[in-house]
């Protein structure tokens, strides 16, 4: 079912077209990736679908009663509110629906009109997860690192935490149409993995803008690309779309070449026939027929290819350093709690290291200590850089750059007039954009300027802190290509798994105050982490069994074997009786012909209640059975 759509929509900013004749449908339980370069019009599409922009031509569609939620990167909250206040505010609409349902039920559902109203409201309430809202709240707060912080004031949260809380509130609200603009900003690797799974089960429609390629591939089964005001749609992931698009362009190029050869042959034959027709009137009709054939062939030929989007390639040139690049000892840092303590690292020439870990683990702080920009809390700390090491730090904040200067003024200072224009053009800054103040640059423009400056320093040790933030896919791939040919040493902090996989061969994991080293790439790290988690789970299970076994040593500490067996028998009888009652209710509800509407509603509620009771009894049965097995195992040993 289509929940929201654009039909033949056009949108202009001044005389510049952003969309021309765009059509896009968002259907129930589908997730669509919206891709395209920075500035191509992705945010405009989100705003059109949310009703925050109006079309210049065409129409937008929103099914009656459909709710739309859009993610704000800079949400506005009341500072005195708590995390829990905002979480509960997410359910205002659902609680209003629940109140309406209760009023209708109190009035009685025998009246057909009243029952029809109740049925519509109940379907909406159920579809938007009204019955599961408390469980959803707890799960979302836990996954996005707000569990245990429910009473924390909004005023104490960082900008990134506020953005993450905005995402949490939107997911808890569960609108029918979910519009997500860069939802992975400020999410660590574990959070991104959780969000992928959450979206894969989302009951409504989701339209997602993100530069995290792996996230989109795992979250979305449809793709829409906006380029040069044209919107293309595809049933498949963004990676599959790009491969299909590339193959189609290759086929079109071959077809176009063959068509041009055939056109040239037909054109030459028609010209020759026309020449002969001047000398022989009998050939005049044949010459006309060949001209018409040539015209029909020309009409069916593929048009000339669209002018492609500008791309770029660049490098990070450098000279070789000594074998030892950096040795750091006794790195420790604490703020309100210990980030890491007594960490010792050695970086050797040519190593390509990915530094990963959860948000708040101290990755950026760790980089700053390695650079000597912040002091270690440990007085024994020591930093030693090797011979001929030139350190380049990716600084999207552009420290040391005058924000009042224009781009061209900053580059002229570095490389001179002519080369400044060439370099800015090479990094996809149009001529008119080269005169923007640095203070007015967008996030993507600042990121490109930071990369440009890194290419000028001949650095043989690059430290990159979230270099893919704000870059579009084409620029990320250009950076990956540059790092593939880079001859120096690399240390990169990133939550972009594709980027780490393609650029790093060693992984450092910073969490729980410790730095763990994994002598392999991203896949090796993933396998080892999964093994470690599984080992911890097994150890935890064994400890729980030991604790349970020890608690069963005496009757004082737990029930006897006889008591456990009687408990299990009683539970089994209750579960069997409940299952029979549930079967009877399910049979009645599957064929409710002749039952009044209020009775159907009451039976449905009874069915839900009994299911909950059965699940609770089953949990108790499992606990008792586990205790009995542990007791038997202890006796045998």
Condensed to tens digits (0 to 9), the pLDDT of residues 413-466 reads: 989 888 999 999 989 898 888 999 999 988 889 999 999 999 999 999 999 999
Q: Could you tell me the residue ranges of all domains in the chain?
A: 2-242, 251-300, 324-523, 552-636
Say which CATH topology domain 552-636 has. Answer: Helix Hairpins (1.10.287)
pLDDT at 236: 93
Rounded average pLDDT over 326-355: 93
What are the structure tokens assigned to 452, written together? Answer: 């440009």
Predicted confidence at residue 537, as pLDDT, reads 72
| SS3 label, residue 298 | helix
State the pLDDT at residue 67. 92
Task: Give whole-number Cα distances, 95 to 91, 99, 171, 608, in Å.
Answer: 6, 6, 16, 19
Give pLDDT, residue 547.
63
The tens digit of pLDDT for each residue in 585-620 reads: 777 766 666 666 666 666 767 766 777 777 777 778
Diameter over CA atoms, the chain: 121
- Asked if CATH classification 3.50.50.60 holds for the domain at 324-523, the reply, yes or no, is no
- In this structure, are residues 202 and 15 in contact, taking their beta carbons and an 8 Å threshold? no
Average pLDDT over residues 88-99: 91
pTM: 0.76
Over residues 550-575, the mean pLDDT reads: 66
Quickly tell me which residue has 């939802």 as its tokens: 183
Residue 453 has φ and ψ, to the nearest 5°, of -65, -35
Dist CA 321 CA 460 (whole Å): 7
| The pLDDT value given to residue 589 | 63
Length of the chain: 637
Q: What is residue 632's predicted lDDT score, i.e. its pLDDT?
A: 54
Average pLDDT, the chain: 87
Question: What DSSP designation does 381 have?
Answer: -
- Going by their DSSP bridges, the two strands 230-234 and 222-227 should be labelled as antiparallel
CA distance 6 to 61: 6
pLDDT band (50, 70, 90) for residue 55: very high
Give dist(CA 618, CA 571) in Å, integer: 8
Give the whole-angstrom CA distance, residue 72 versus residue 62. Answer: 20
Q: What is the pLDDT of residue 555?
A: 41
* Neighbour-count burial for 422-432, b at 16+ CB within 10 Å, e otherwise: ebbeebbbeee
Is residue 553 scored above 60 in pLDDT? no
Q: Are 2-242 and 324-523 equal in CATH topology? A: yes
Per-residue confidence (pLDDT) for residue 579, from 0 to 100: 78
Spatial neighbors of 473 by CB under 8 A, at least 6 apart, are: 35, 211, 213
pLDDT at residue 598 in the model: 63
Helices (H), ranges, 280-362: 284-300
> What is the share, in percent, of the chain residues with pLDDT greater than 70?
92
- The answer, yes or no, to whether residue 636 has pLDDT greater than 90, is no
The pLDDT of residue 554 is above 50: no
Fold (topology level) of 2-242: Rossmann fold (3.40.50)
């Amino acid at each position: 079912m289509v929940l929201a759509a654009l039909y033949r929509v056009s949108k202009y900013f001044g005389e510049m077209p952003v969309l021309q004749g765009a059509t896009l449908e968002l259907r129930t339980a589908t997730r669509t990736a919206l891709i395209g370069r920075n500035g191509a019009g992705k945010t405009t599409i989100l705003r059109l679908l949310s009703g925050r922009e109006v079309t210049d031509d065409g129409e937008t569609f929103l099914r009656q009663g459909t709710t739309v939620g859009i993610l704000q990167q800079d949400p506005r909250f009341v500072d005195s509110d708590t995390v829990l206040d905002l979480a509960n505010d997410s359910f205002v609409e659902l609680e209003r629906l629940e109140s309406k349902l209760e009023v209708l039920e109190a009035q009685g559902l025998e009246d057909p009109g009243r029952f029809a109203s109740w049925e519509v409201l109940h379907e909406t309430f159920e579809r938007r997860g009204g019955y599961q809202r408390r469980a959803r709240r707890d799960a979302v707060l836990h996954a996005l690192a707000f569990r245990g912080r429910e009473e924390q004031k909004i005023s104490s949260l960082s900008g990134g935490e506020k953005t993450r809380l905005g995402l949490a509130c939107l997911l808890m609200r569960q609108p029918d149409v979910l519009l997500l603009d860069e939802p992975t900003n400020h999410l660590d690797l574990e959070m991104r993995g959780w969000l992928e799974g959450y979206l894969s089960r989302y009951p409504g429609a989701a339209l997602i803008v993100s530069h995290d390629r792996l996230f989109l591939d795992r979250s979305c089964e449809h793709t829409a690309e906006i380029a040069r005001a044209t919107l293309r749609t595809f049933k498949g992931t963004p990676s599959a779309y790009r491969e299909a698009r590339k193959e189609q362009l290759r086929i079109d190029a071959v077809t176009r070449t063959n068509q041009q050869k055939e056109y040239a042959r037909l054109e030459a034959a028609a010209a020759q026939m026309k020449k002969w027709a001047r000398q022989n009137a009998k050939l005049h009709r044949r010459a006309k027929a060949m001209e018409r054939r040539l015209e029909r062939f020309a009409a069916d030929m593929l048009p000339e290819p669209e002018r492609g989007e500008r791309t770029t390639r660049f490098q990070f040139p450098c000279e070789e350093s000594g074998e030892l690049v950096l040795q750091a000892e006794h790195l420790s840092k604490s703020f309100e709690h210990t980030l890491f303590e007594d960490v010792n690292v050695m970086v050797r020439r040519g190593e390509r290291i990915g530094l990963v870990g959860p948000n708040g683990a101290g990755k950026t702080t760790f980089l700053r200590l390695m650079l000597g920009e912040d002091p270690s809390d440990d007085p024994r700390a020591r930093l030693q850089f090797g011979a001929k090491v030139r350190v380049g730090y990716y600084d999207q904040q552009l420290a040391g750059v005058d924000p009042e200067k224009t781009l061209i003024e900053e580059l002229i200072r570095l490389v001179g007039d002519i080369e400044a224009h060439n370099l800015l053009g090479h990094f996809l800054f149009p001529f008119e954009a080269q005169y923007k103040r640095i203070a007015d640059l967008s996030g993507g423009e600042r990121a490109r300027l930071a990369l440009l400056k890194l290419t000028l320093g001949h650095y043989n040790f690059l430290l990159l802190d979230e270099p893919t933030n704000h870059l579009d896919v084409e620029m990320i791939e250009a950076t990956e290509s540059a790092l593939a040919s880079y001859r120096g040493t690399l240390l990169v902090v990133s939550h972009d798994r594709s980027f780490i996989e393609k650029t790093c061969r060693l992984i450092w994991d910073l969490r729980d105050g410790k730095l763990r080293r994994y002598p392999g790439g991203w896949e090796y790290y993933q396998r080892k982490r999964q093994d470690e988690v599984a080992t911890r789970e097994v150890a935890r299970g064994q400890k729980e069994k030991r604790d349970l076994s020890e608690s069963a040593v005496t009757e004082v500490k737990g029930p006897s074997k006889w008591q456990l067996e009687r408990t299990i028998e009683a539970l089994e009888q209750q579960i069997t009786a409940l299952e029979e009652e549930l079967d009877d209710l399910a049979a009645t509800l599957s064929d409710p012909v002749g039952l009044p509407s209020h009775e159907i509603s009451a039976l449905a509620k009874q069915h839900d209640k009994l299911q909950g009771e059965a699940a609770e009894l089953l949990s108790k049965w499992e606990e008792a059975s586990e205790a009995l097995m542990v007791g038997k195992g202890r006796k045998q040993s």
